[in-house]
Amino acid sequence: MALLPILRFPDARLRKVAEPVARIDEAIRRLARDMAETMYEAPGIGLAATQVDVHKRLIVIDASETRDELLTLINPEIVELSGKQRGEEGCLSVPGIYDKVERAQRVVVRYLDLEGQEQTVEAEGLLAVCLQHEIDHLQGRVFVEHLSQLKQQRIRNKLSKQARITA
C-alpha cells in the first residue's frame, strides 16, 4: 500500500467530474486500499478518488469513532435526501479551513462494493454529511463552494499565503 498525494484547493483538477468505474479489478481494489491508508494517515473521515487526482467514481469513508468501519463505495449515487442539518465541515483538500454547510439530514446511497455487488447505505448525521461531501468531490465540487463568494476568496487567499510560507 502507498500514501497518495492529496490535491489542495483551488487546484483545477478538483473540479474535474469523475467517470464511472467500468470494471472492478485489482487496480481499483489497490486504489481503494491506498486511498483508505491515505485517509487514515491524514487523518480524515472520507476521501474521494478525485482528491488524489484519479477521476473515477470511488470514495472511502470511515466516520466511526473507533476508525474500524471502512466503507468503500464505487459509483455511489444518492437516491434519496430528506431533512436539513447545518454543521461544520472540513476537507483534506482544504487543510485548516472549517465552516458551516447545510446538507440533507438523511441520505440513501446506492453503490457497488469491491466485489461488484450492488449495496445501499442509509445514513443520518455525520455519515450522511460525509457521503454528500465525498460525492460532491466526484462531481467536481469542494465544500467551500457551498459558502459565499467572499468566504471562498478569503479561503483562496489564506491557502495561497500558507503555500508561499511552506514553499
Q: So which residues are the catalytic ones?
A: 134
H-state helical runs in the chain: 26-41, 125-138, 149-166
Three-state SS for 144? helix
H-state helical runs in 9-145: 26-41, 125-138
Task: Count the neighbouring beta carbons within 10 Å of the beta carbon of residue 65.
Answer: 8
15 HSE (CA, 13 A, CB side): 6
